[in-house]
Structure 1
Amino acid sequence: MTTPIEQRIITGQLWEEYCDTLKRAGQQLLRPETPHTTFDQAEGMRYLSRLVRAGLEMMVEGADADFPTFVIPSHETIKIGADNPDNLYQTARINGRNEYRIRGSRGTVPTLNFATKKGGYEKAGSKLEGTGLLSTQEMQVNADGSFEILVSAQRPASGNWLPMEETSHMLLVRQTFHDRRKEKAAEFSIERVGHGGAPAPLDPARFAASLMAAGHYTENTARLFCDWAALFKQEHHNTIPLGNQAMFQAAGGDPNIAYHHGYWEFGEDEAMVIDAVVPPCEFWNFQVDNYWMESLDYRHHRIHVNSHGARYNPDGSVTIVIAHRDPGHPNWLTTAGHALGTSLFRVIGAGSATAKIATRLVKLSDIPHMPKEQCA
């Protein structure tokens, strides 16, 4: 006699249920406040296809917490929740009741941190809350650049320790580059402590749960960031304020980062000028995103600038210009064919100090005539 799960697989019901979640995800594109141009809707469909790929990689291919492996959930062609163009993101599936060991080589990337998380976008509420954090400054690294980290609920007597809780299920690594051309990423692997052998053949019941988790991930991620974009459109229109940090961190944000999310929309003959005074910090960057909160194509367009590559004003402030065409400003960022979108100014490691960010719309033709201190 077959079990209910076996029956769902044999009859094809499981696949239909998975496809139904993707169909529901598509409804997020049609919300009244979303842009309904052919361009934006096509880009939205591409965005959903990217979420499908990410969900399958993480929830199906990388779902085994006994034999974890690092997956890259967001990169040049999978973009989620204002992904950082200066970051390399990696995740691994873990189980808070186990212990894990990470071994690797530090590399030269300036910022490297490891975090454990509970919740997940595949679950109702789309929370991804932190249960442990280990940053570069706290890590012990050997003279040859090698390191080990124990991931566990109980603190070890010595060595690098990444805490987690019994409900922890994800390990998230952020590597932040100042200049990808010159810096080397850290390299590492993960294994469950005391668990050898090889993975068992595919378990149909576990696969069924993983496939549905992937579907819910696509649906819930699309809903979450459409909710955010709608909020920014209403409350952050052509501004970049310091928003609700608790909301951002509950969705997986780094507690060392201050997130300034914005929404922009202006005409072909206009530009947005951003004047920022950034406090002493480890790093900052600013990026232009589309409505779906994807970073624009940074492989082929200049859509972001960071503390390493920006041109500063004589007083230490920075002026950034977003425009549809190059106005001749050294910190110009393109909209890459978009008429509207979201944006993010992030500041890492500033403590309680906050950036002062002002925005204004000007005529594109006025940019070359801006005061020199704003074009230095």
Structure 2
Amino acid sequence: METDGVERWTMNGRTIATAALRQFTKARVAYLRLRGQTPDSVAEKRVASGTSWDEFCDTLKAAGAAIVFPGTPTDPVTQAEGYRYLSRLTRAGLEAFVEYADPTAPVLRRMIHETAKMGSDNPDNHYLNATIDGSLEYRITGTRGTVDYLGFGTQEGNYGEGGQMPTTGYVEATELAIDDDGRFELILSATEHPGNWLPMTPQTGLLIVRQTFADRTAEVPAELHIELLDGATPPTPLTAAQLDAGLGKASLLVAGASMLFAKWARDFAQHTNELPMFDPERSTKAGGDPNIIYYHSYWRLGPDEALVIDAEIPVCDGWNFQLDNHWLESLDYRYHQIHVNKHTAIYRDDGSVRIVVAHRDPGLPNWIDTAGHECGAMTFRWIKADTHPQPRTRVVTLSALAQLY
């Protein structure tokens, strides 16, 4: 990775910048047309000859460079999770760019979930994604449910096109007109629409729905459906061009995301066991929620050490803290207590909160389980907060923990 703000990665011995890659693709199409060939005819030859598949496999193999990126821990757990991470990204990429890639037949699906993770995925979130086209218009219909937070965002581009995905429109459920039965509809378009409207631009390529739980055991997620505004039509049969493009984008997602977040992990390690604020502009460009201020960092603890985090709680819609592995995957929240939020936290008498990260339960409030890991990334979030207090951190021995209470 370079540090000039342009995300790059190495594939088959070449360093490729995403912006340059897109320009190269356009130039290649123009060149082929001059030679009397069309992108469709070239794709047919690439698929029939096996070239598309070979390049897909070659890029997946090259993506393994992220697992040995400088500074990456070499312990068996981190390495095993790294290769599993690549397999998860591959699965997510194929679903996004081969199975559900048609913007004329959009499907809201869970790309990021309990067994497919990236970018410090929020354990409190139920993510939904759909491939869309900013030149078309869509309708979302459904019921609000009781989930604590519901937000809809349109993004430029898509996950397979590099690290930049600026937001092109955002609306929250609190801004929508919803009937007494919890039903509503929301129009997605590049031109303003009366009623509930989510803006797009001609460059929009992705819809992200974030449902944030305060209490997963009690809240009901929204039930949502998306369709073309002019009426859904059956998707056309798969073409060679679609497969060729889909395999290419899926493999670029694996190579690009793994290298991007390997670089983030390396950078976060420069302030291990601290929680500095992450650049909000950088976060939004990478597809982060514009209503959230993030504190991304790295943690590392010895067997008898604990990380203590003290935070004053501002007026906010929500907050949470989570532990990730080195690959910025949230640790397995199905079976371990790896995060705490506004609802689940136990507060101190002055309204502040103290969080304790340790390898074993110290018998104290707000314990965060490392789930068998020695190190990894971590994230603190303020959601629509009036102010953004700086969380304070310190590493202490387990025997010294009791003296802090």
TM range (shorter): over 0.9
Deviation of 1:118 (Å): 0.5
Is 1:162 the counterpart of 2:198? The answer is yes
What is the rounded CA distance, in whole Å, between the counterparts of 1:153 and 1:134 in structure 2? 14
Quick check: 2:105–2:233 contact (8 Å CA) kept in 1?
A: no
Task: Tell me by how many angstroms 1:189 deviates.
Answer: 0.4
| Structure 1 letter corresponding to 2:251 | G
One-letter amino acid matched to 2:392: A
Amino acid at match of 1:363: T
Q: What's the counterpart of residue 86 of structure 1?
A: 124
**What is the alpha-carbon distance in structure 1 between the residues aligned to residue 318 and residue 236 of structure 2?**
44
**Matched residues in 1 for 2:174 and 2:383: separation?**
13
Report the equivalent of 1:374.
none
Name the aligned partner's letter for residue 318 of structure 1.
V
Contact 2:104 2:233 in 1 (8 A): no
For 1:203, the equivalent position in structure 2 comes to 239
Instruction: Pick from 168, 189, 200 the counterpart of residue 131 of structure 1.
Output: 168
> How far apart are residue 356 of structure 1 and its match?
2.3
Q: Which runs of 5 or more residues in structure 1 are unaligned?
A: 372-376
Residue 252 of structure 1: which of 287, 290, 293 is its match? Answer: 287
**Partner SS state of residue 128, structure 1:** coil
Q: What is the Cα-based RMSD across aligned positions, in Å?
A: 1.2
Equivalence map 1:267-278=2 (5 Å)? 267-278=302-313
Superposition TM-score, scaled by structure 2 size: 0.89
Match of 2:189 in 1: 152
Mapped pair 1:38 → 2:76: yes
2:392 equivalent in structure 1: 358
Match of 2:334 in 1: 299
Contact residue 56 and residue 248 of structure 2 kept, 8 A:
yes
- CA distance, structure 1, for counterparts of residue 350 and residue 295 of structure 2: 22
- Is 1:143 matched with 2:177? no
Q: Name the count of aligned residue pairs.
A: 367
Quick check: 1:116 aligned with 2:150?
no
Matches within 5 A, 1:14-33: 14-33=52-71
Contact 2:105 2:228 in 1 (8 A): yes
CA distance in 2, matches of 1:238, 1:187: 39
Aligned partner of 2:225 among 189, 201, 207: 189
Counterpart CA distance in 1 for 2:249 and 2:195 is 35
Distance in 2, matches of 1:245 and 1:23, equals 33
Can you give the 5+ residue segments of structure 2 that lack an aligned partner in the other structure? Answer: 1-36
- C-alpha displacement of 1:194: 1.3
Report matched runs for 1:334-349 at 5 Å. Answer: 334-349=369-384
Between the aligned partners of 1:256 and 1:245, the Cα distance in structure 2 is 10
Q: Work out the percentage of aligned pairs sharing the same amino acid.
A: 49
Counterpart amino acid of residue 263 in structure 2: D
- Distance in 1 between residues matched to 2:85 and 2:216, nearest whole Å: 25
TM-score (norm. length: structure 1): 0.95
Question: Which residue pairs with 1:238 in the alignment?
Answer: 273
Q: Which residue of 2 aligns with 1:77?
A: 115
The equivalent of 1:47 in structure 2 is 85
Per-residue CA deviations over 1:48-86 (Å, capped at 9, x if unaligned) read 111111111111111000010012111111111000000
